[in-house]
Amino acid sequence: MSRRMSAAVTVVAAIGALAAPGGAAAAPVVDTSDLRDAVTLEGVVEHMQEFQDIADANGGNREASSPGYDASVAYVVEQLEAAGYEVTEQEFDYDYFEEVEAATLTRTSGEGAPEAYEDGVDISTMDFSGSGSFSGVVQAVDVVVPMTPGSPDGTSNSGCEAEDFTGFTGDIALIQRGTCDFSVKIANAVAAGAEAVIIFNEGNSEDRSGVDFGQASFAQDVPVVEMSYEAGAALVELIESSSEPITLEGSTNTINEQRSSSNVIADWPGGREDRTVVSGAHLDSVAEGPGINDNGSGSAGLLETALEVAELGVEPRNHLRFIWFGAEEAGLVGSQFYVDSLAKRDLKDIAVMLNFDMIGSPNPGWFVYDGDASDTASTGSAGSGVVEDVFVDFFDSIGRISEPTAFDGRSDYDAFVAAGIPAGGLFTGAEDHKTVEQAAPDYWGGEAGVAYDPCYHAACDTIENYDPTALDEMSDALAHGLWTFAMTTSAIEGTSKGNATGQYDPSFKGSSAIR
């Protein structure tokens, strides 16, 4: 929960624990009001409208390999170069996935057969599923049914170990979400002889009950279908109660191929390069829509802030680097590529990474990444708690309640965290539902039981899909955090303690829910 305090809107940044062992130096005073005043809601929305216009002119989306993405890159580059930034377009290849036709699945034996499962309600195609038809006996693998509501995530570890498939003789593996990456479950199933895989949701909460909850990280050789907990649990019970094998038939129709995209990297001249402040937002959308909240909002807020830094003519103490990442929706590919491309010295020179992914959700929450892991199962790097404090203290200063959100590997901070770089950022919520407490008028307001962004990863994520109050306050917080770290004379704890390799396995990352 947020720490409340009464303070002036001109914020004294609470930098907190510093590099010196056993203590903390006094926090420097950073007045961010000029930049916050310059970054206006109207300016941010103007960029979001440009992204909408680009999508409208290019097939309705800004997916990372599409003409809409190329046009988005061109717009951002043009704006930055005109403002005086040194701009680089960093190209890379990535694995592209597209669902050509909806998944089909029918139960062909057992009581009530045939029973057809409905796409989008009972089933969906998992991202990076293989393509093809399948039929045969379905066999459940080490599932937990019924699942007790409120059980911790990871109560089920179905399919996580090769031993789970001992005695597996089926054609189709029925696996439950939980504990390990979906790709691990799929690989174990295929090694055991499964010709198709169905993964049903864990069922311990409302947020882990529906369909369309994951991705397989990389292209699979077999069809992989997601299933709701309700449908999966009913199928398990039927398998266990039937004296005859239960059979299914179904299909997936997908494209898995390699494509190219790019990152936009903009450096503002000057500042200490051994304390580079990296601020990032992903520029791509999903193929289903224009992606104006996800993540036109973060991209626009970052762009407007960068342009106002130039317009004000201010000189930061520390070097500023702004990055618009490509192919985030394909598994955080652009940010991982960027980190992997850096030399060891360059990695150590990054003082902090600030991430802005969805900052205008229409049923918003005011979330700050839990850098010190005091409230969530975060995996933040040393020093990330310092970043959290800066944003939390800002929201406290304007009387806004904020809540911690986990570093859960779902956005572009992840590669930086893995390299030991302090990180933090802002988020207004995606597919999870707002609680009754959060929707109270004296808390955040909005609608309880409704997703923070009901248009998450959908065609309706348009220029109409944002909350102006949240976007305005988040943009101010973005400017405040960026300028705080731009001007601080203190090192952030953990700055030079990373492994500085940038090499790690990014399995199961991206905006789709993991595990």
Residues known to be catalytic: 328
**Residue 232 to residue 440: CA distance in whole angstroms:** 35
**Residue 515 to residue 313: CA distance in whole angstroms:** 46
User: Are the C-beta atoms of residues 197 and 96 closer than 8 Å to each other?
Assistant: no
With 0-12 / 13-18 / 19 or more C-beta atoms within 10 angstroms meaning exposed / middle / buried, residue 353 is buried
User: Are the C-beta atoms of residues 61 and 283 closer than 8 Å to each other?
Assistant: no
Q: Which residues pair with 451 in a beta bridge?
A: 433
Q: Give the pairing type, strands 247-268 and 350-356.
A: unpaired
CA 3 to chain centre: 25
Handedness of CA 158, 159, 164, 169 (dihedral sign): positive
**Residue 351 to residue 366: CA distance in whole angstroms:** 25
**Residue 414 to residue 428: CA distance in whole angstroms:** 18
Element (H, E) at 98: strand 86-107
Instruction: Tell me the DSSP string of 121-186.
Output: TTEEEPBT---EEEEEEEEE-S---SPPTTPPTTS--TTSSGGGGTT---SEEEEE--SS-HHHHH
**Residue 115 to residue 107: CA distance in whole angstroms:** 5
The token duo for 228 is 């709701």
User: Is the link from the previous residue into 290 a cis peptide, with omega within 30 of 0?
Assistant: no
Element (H, E) at 28: none
Distances in Å between the Cα of 170 and the Cα atoms of 47, 124, 229, 239 are 53, 21, 21, 12
User: Are the C-beta atoms of residues 432 and 451 closer than 8 Å to each other?
Assistant: yes
**Residue 446 to residue 391: CA distance in whole angstroms:** 22
User: Are the C-beta atoms of residues 61 and 289 closer than 8 Å to each other?
Assistant: yes
**Residue 264 to residue 184: CA distance in whole angstroms:** 33
User: Are the C-beta atoms of residues 454 and 362 closer than 8 Å to each other?
Assistant: yes
The radius of gyration of the chain's CA atoms, rounded to the nearest angstrom, is: 23
User: Are the C-beta atoms of residues 228 and 301 closer than 8 Å to each other?
Assistant: no
Q: Which residues have CB under 8 Å from 82's CB, separation 6+?
A: none
CA 279 to chain centre: 15
Q: Quick count: other Cβ atoms within 10 Å of Cβ 509?
A: 25
**Residue 325 to residue 343: CA distance in whole angstroms:** 19
